[in-house]
């Protein structure tokens, strides 16, 4: 008997990334913290895994201009005219504007004049993974949306305090973009499902602005550093254990195991977090199943999993038919694992 079952799939059809031209090596930051605080961060940078990061020096460069560049690359790769877009979502935790949305600015910049649903999200480093999940679910339940653009960007150089090692020395400025298309097919692929987890006990470990917007804006504080991002050293959550449990739980819902996954696009803050997660999953030959791109470009926050998947696509680690797990994780903390099939 012929199987006529159809699946409404939401597929990634284009990926774009953008980095500012200015590439900064470790020497600058090592000298900076020696002079400012009398500390040597050489070992810390090696432990975290940083050699370079891209930092914008152009005052006219913003998350909107960077995301425009990434979006145009993704649109070209997917052979999509901006006027075909029905939905545009912008993920950032360093917004250029709170009103109007940065997504509205981007829509105007790329000429997406037929976009119907346009909004920002801020889930910190979880953002692009969350965007993939939210947008795909909307497209699957509302047939008015055929094509969507999700962009993520952070201009860390505008919000990192120069005395905060974690953000100032390890992050980089960047933007990423993906184009999604909803299409009926005879087999299931694209965004399959997701699972989430939140623990708010660490809500005060990293804050921007340090004391909140209202205190800064309603008092006589004039120090710009008070409006920036500061991190407080605390014992980290056991992310490898949490992520591995989430991944196994997610896949079991679809009669799959971790051994059915070809590639893991995991948070790119440190390489040991990735390798420890794969070890917790009992993955063999782990080098074949992940990458770590932050060593050469800096940590790109919300966009890090998109930089990871773009690199994997370029190098053939991910191709048509590959099963992939995306994991995004935002400070505080909230995290999501997403199951995707190319």
Alpha carbon distances (Å) from 246 to 90, 237, 337: 26, 14, 7
Q: How do the pLDDT tens digits run along the chain, 342 residues long?
A: 556 789 999 999 999 999 999 999 999 999 999 999 999 999 999 999 999 999 999 999 999 999 999 999 999 999 999 999 999 999 999 999 999 999 999 999 999 999 999 999 999 999 999 999 999 999 999 999 999 999 999 999 999 999 989 899 999 999 999 999 999 999 999 999 999 999 998 888 888 887 888 877 788 877 777 777 777 665 578 999 999 999 999 999 999 999 999 999 999 999 999 999 999 999 999 999 999 999 999 999 999 999 999 999 999 999 999 999 999 999 989 999 999 999
Per CATH, 7-185 and 190-341 having the same topology is answered yes
Token pair 């390798």 is found at 275
Which CATH code, of 1.10.287.130, 3.40.47.10, 3.40.50.1860, 3.30.70.270, is assigned to 190-341? 3.40.47.10
Specify whether the CB–CB gap between 150 and 217 falls below 8 A. no
Token pair 């969350």 is found at 130
Going from N- to C-terminal start, the domains of the chain cover 7-185, 190-341
Would strands 147-154 and 87-91 be described as parallel, antiparallel, or unpaired? parallel
In this prediction, residue 230 carries a pLDDT of 74
Burial class of residue 29 in the structure, from the number of CB atoms within 10 Å of its CB (0-12 exposed, 13-18 middle, 19+ buried): buried
In this prediction, residue 313 carries a pLDDT of 98
Q: How far apart are CA 193 and CA 254, in angstroms?
A: 9
CATH superfamily of 7-185: Thiolase/Chalcone synthase (3.40.47.10)
What are 121's strand-pairing partners? Answer: 91
Q: How far apart are CA 151 and CA 89, in angstroms?
A: 6
Model confidence, pTM: 0.95
């Amino acid at each position: 008997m012929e199987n006529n079952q159809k699946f409404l799939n939401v597929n990634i059809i284009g990926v774009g990334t953008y980095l500012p031209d200015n590439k900064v090596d470790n020497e600058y930051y090592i000298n900076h913290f020696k002079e400012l605080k009398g500390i040597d961060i050489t070992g810390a940078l090696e432990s975290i895994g940083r050699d370079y990061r891209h930092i914008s020096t152009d005052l006219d460069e913003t998350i909107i201009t960077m995301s425009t560049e990434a979006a145009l690359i993704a649109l070209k790769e997917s052979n999509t005219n901006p006027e075909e877009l029905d939905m545009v979502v912008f993920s950032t935790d360093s917004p250029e504007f709170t009103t109007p949305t940065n997504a509205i600015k981007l829509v105007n910049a790329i000429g997406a004049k037929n976009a119907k649903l346009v909004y920002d999200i801020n889930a910190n480093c979880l953002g692009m993974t969350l965007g993939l999940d939210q947008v795909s679910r909307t497209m699957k339940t509302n047939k008015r949306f055929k094509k969507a653009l999700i962009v993520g960007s952070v201009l860390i150089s505008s919000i990192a305090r120069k005395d905060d090692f974690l953000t100032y020395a390890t992050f980089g400025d960047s933007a990423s973009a993906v184009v999604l298309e909803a299409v009926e097919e005879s087999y299931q692929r694209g965004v399959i499902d997701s699972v989430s987890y939140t623990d708010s006990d660490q809500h005060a470990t990293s804050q921007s602005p340090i004391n909140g917007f209202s205190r800064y804006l309603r008092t006589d504080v004039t120090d710009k550093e008070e409006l920036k991002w500061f991190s407080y050293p605390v014992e980290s959550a056991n992310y490898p254990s949490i992520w591995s449990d989430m991944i196994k739980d997610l896949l079991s819902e679809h009669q799959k195991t971790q051994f059915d996954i070809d590639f893991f696009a995991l948070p790119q803050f440190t390489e040991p977090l990735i390798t420890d997660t794969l070890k917790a999953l009992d993955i063999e030959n782990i080098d074949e199943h992940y990458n770590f791109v932050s060593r050469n470009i800096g940590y790109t926050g919300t966009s890090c999993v998109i930089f990871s998947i773009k690199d994997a696509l370029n190098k053939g680690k991910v191709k048509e038919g590959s099963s992939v797990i995306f994991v995004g994780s935002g400070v505080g903390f909230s995290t999501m694992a997403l199951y995707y099939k190319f």
